[in-house]
Structure 1
Amino acid sequence: MKVILGFLLLLVLLLTGPAFVIASGSASLGVDWSRADRSPVGLAPDPATTAEAVVQVYAARALSWRGAFGVHPWFAVKPAGARAYTVYEVIGWRVYRGLPAVSVSNRDPDGRWFGSQPSVLAELRGADAEAAIPKIAEAASRYPYAGEYRLWPGPNSNTFAAWVGRAVPELRLDLPATALGKDFLAAPFVARAPSGTGWQLNLFGAAGLLVAAEEGVELNLLGLTVGVDPLDLAIKFPGIGRIAPFGRGLRAAAPPPAETAEEGAAPQG
């Protein structure tokens, strides 16, 4: 009985963050996805006036109740001299229609996710971006779960982001605690952290531990993440994400995190 009560108490604590997100109005409940705002927010350099190569990684709150728990990430790349961005992401509805989960498109790189404001998780410019772009494309083509999609515990859009992050460690991609599915690992259940600065152990996204210089220490339980980031003097909490009560810590903190579907399709990511 004590074990059951303890588990129930832990579950309540883990769900406190998502409940707060709903209560605060941060999750886009009741939004009609077909009419939601998809306009760009001005975070991506204009390709018409930016000749250098650009790589940006974005995340935005998921649509409807899913936004209380997690975000949807995507990679936007522009080679030097290109007049448009290419966006790589995983979209759930594609699998349900018999298509590969990985979407490659030329949509607005910094478009809102059905009303949710995106933020930049990582960025490379110039020669560094030019070197990373083919690595991102190759990692996307090798994504091992291209025929699978599960909202929880994965593989999903955040599993894809973690996969690409490991393949391109120069991004030092610190996925937020709200990137539900980022910790999904199949056998042998051990991999580098998405930032490439440490390691993680996880059992199908249900339970695991991550220790890395960039992410800090994270405990994953039932897909939800709690953790501490000593360099940023921050804590990580399910639903809410990063909380830094002492400011930016010992280094500049990454921008706070903020799912993409093609036009005319219900969003899942």
Structure 2
Amino acid sequence: MKFLLRAVSVILLVFVLPTLVSAGLWVSQDRPQRWSEANWGSSGLLPSAEESPQAAIYVFSAMTGGLKGAIASHAWIVTKDENGSYQRYDKVGWGSPIRRNHRAPDAFWYSNPPRLVAEVKGEAAKRLIPQVEAAIAGYPHGQPGGYRIYPGPNSNTFVAHVLREVPELGAVLPPDAVGRDYLPDGAFYHLDKDGRDLHVSLGGLAGLSVGMRSGLEVNFLGLVAGIDIARPGIKVPGFGTVGL
């Protein structure tokens, strides 16, 4: 009984309390009530393709809309061949599941600004773009019907899959990317291709990630708490990574 009480206390303190605080702060701010009222235009974060001719890969994440925006974000991938144009890839829950260029590469998402998760340029990007495109094409939930908002597979499941398949991108999605811990095909565990990160998951509802990129993470009902080693910080549900 004492162990159960302690476990419940830890869950309340580590996962529930920060989430409630984050939700309270979120609803206290003025935000769009409908998707049609939100800003979906370019944030101006990226230069035009003409101004930056070198090859590039970007991974972006932005908080989503409604109350779920207090704890959940949406991620997408952008590639650009040398002297080419930007190509944006999102996994969405309507129409063709993996959308290409349905919004500007650096667009706001539900009026929320994009955050840069990963960036690779030049010769390294030229080498990795074919691998990124192969990972996108090989995503096992890329067909119509291959989307479930919670616990996955969703938009973050898609981007997390690409990051695991191309570990040279050197990043993991932020803790608020709910659905990133759902492993493709509902697998119980996954070892990244370079062997540097291990992920264990019970259908995206609970799990553990450990490694050089992930640090130490515990996932509970889509909420993530842990320690970031690569960029020293503490991962707090509802607040993301708080840098040390």
TM surpasses 0.5: yes
The answer on whether the counterparts of 2:200 and 2:209 sit within 8 Å (CA) in structure 1 is yes
1:172 to 170, 173, 198: 170
In the other structure, the counterpart of 2:134 is: 138
In the other structure, the counterpart of 1:183 is: 181
In the other structure, the counterpart of 2:151 is: 153
Gaps of 5+ in 2: none
In the other structure, the counterpart of 1:73 is: 75
In the other structure, the counterpart of 1:238 is: 237
Q: Give the SS at the match of 2:182.
A: coil
Alignment of 1:211 with 2:213, yes or no, is: no
Distance 1:151 1:11, change over 3 A: farther
Give the superposition deviation at 1:193: 4.9
The answer on whether the counterparts of 2:191 and 2:198 sit within 8 Å (CA) in structure 1 is yes
TM-score, normalising length: structure 2: 0.88
The answer on whether the counterparts of 1:75 and 1:89 sit within 8 Å (CA) in structure 2 is yes
In the other structure, the counterpart of 1:88 is: 89
Distance 1:125 1:230, change over 3 A: closer
Give the superposition deviation at 1:105: 1.8
In the other structure, the counterpart of 1:63 is: 65
Give the superposition deviation at 1:9: 4.0
TM-score, normalising length: structure 1: 0.80
Alignment of 1:162 with 2:160, yes or no, is: yes
Letter aligned with residue 24 of structure 1: L
Alignment of 1:12 with 2:8, yes or no, is: no
The answer on whether the counterparts of 1:162 and 1:194 sit within 8 Å (CA) in structure 2 is no
Give the superposition deviation at 1:196: 6.4
Give the superposition deviation at 1:118: 0.6
Aligned length: 239
Give the superposition deviation at 1:172: 1.0
Alignment of 1:220 with 2:219, yes or no, is: yes
Gaps of 5+ in 1: 247-269
Q: Give the SS at the match of 1:25.
A: helix
Distance 1:168 1:237 in 2: 26
Moved more, 165-174 or 101-110: 101-110
Q: Give the SS at the match of 2:88.
A: strand
The answer on whether the counterparts of 1:171 and 1:195 sit within 8 Å (CA) in structure 2 is no
Letter aligned with residue 232 of structure 1: R
The answer on whether the counterparts of 2:41 and 2:103 sit within 8 Å (CA) in structure 1 is no
Moved more, 73-82 or 24-33: 24-33
Q: Give the SS at the match of 1:134.
A: helix
Distance 2:39 2:88 in 1: 18
RMSD across aligned positions (CA): 2.4
**Identity score, percent:** 34
Distance 1:194 1:38 in 2: 35
In the other structure, the counterpart of 2:51 is: 49
Q: Give the SS at the match of 2:135.
A: helix
Distance 1:180 1:37, change over 3 A: same
Give the superposition deviation at 1:28: 7.1
Distance 1:53 1:196, change over 3 A: farther
Give the superposition deviation at 1:93: 2.4
The answer on whether the counterparts of 1:193 and 1:211 sit within 8 Å (CA) in structure 2 is no
Give the superposition deviation at 1:229: 1.7
Distance 2:156 2:135 in 1: 14
Moved more, 112-121 or 179-188: 179-188
Distance 2:61 2:193 in 1: 15
Give the superposition deviation at 1:194: 9.3
Q: Give the SS at the match of 2:90.
A: strand
Letter aligned with residue 12 of structure 2: V
The answer on whether the counterparts of 2:40 and 2:103 sit within 8 Å (CA) in structure 1 is no
Distance 2:206 2:19 in 1: 19
Alignment of 1:108 with 2:104, yes or no, is: yes
